[in-house]
Amino acid sequence: MDNGVGTATLLELVHAFRQLSVEEHLWHPGASIVFASWSGEEFGKIGSTEFLEQFGGELRGRAVAYVNVDAPVRGDHALYVAASPLAKSAIYASARAVPCPSPAHGSSKEDGGGGGVHSMYDQWLEADAGPDVRPRVNYLNFHSDTMGFFLEGGITSISPSYR
């Protein structure tokens, strides 16, 4: 299930980006976006390691971030994010800008929501406030594809999921 959900999510992201930029002309990225999928994580991160070995030099010079959507949905409670420290402010800003998708925590009762929590950030804060009264951004998992990009490539890495 792990790679199936991640692949389905990746394909939906590709579709959404295409729809926004090509079909609806609402947004155009300021730089190239590479969508990639590989296998072999369970056997030693073979696919991502091979990708990094082949394109590492170019990625180190041009990549802004690596976003891992390997296992993006593990429940329906709240956002969970593991990331390199440089990504924290962008993660918080993005979570504040995204409306909460959960019917129990939606933005208004008229829309079928609970009326209390308005954004992903609000729901995340309610579920997991850290010691500095902000939601916790966790350390990256050493067993994930993010580690090669972060440690070997020096690329800011993010692994979001809904748990």
Question: Catalytic site residue 50?
Answer: no
Q: Out of 41, 50, 53, 110, which one is annotated catalytic?
A: 41
Q: How many CA atoms lie within 13 A of 47 on its CB side?
A: 12
CA distance 155 to 62: 9
CA distance 97 to 58: 31
Task: Enumerate the active-site residues.
Answer: 41
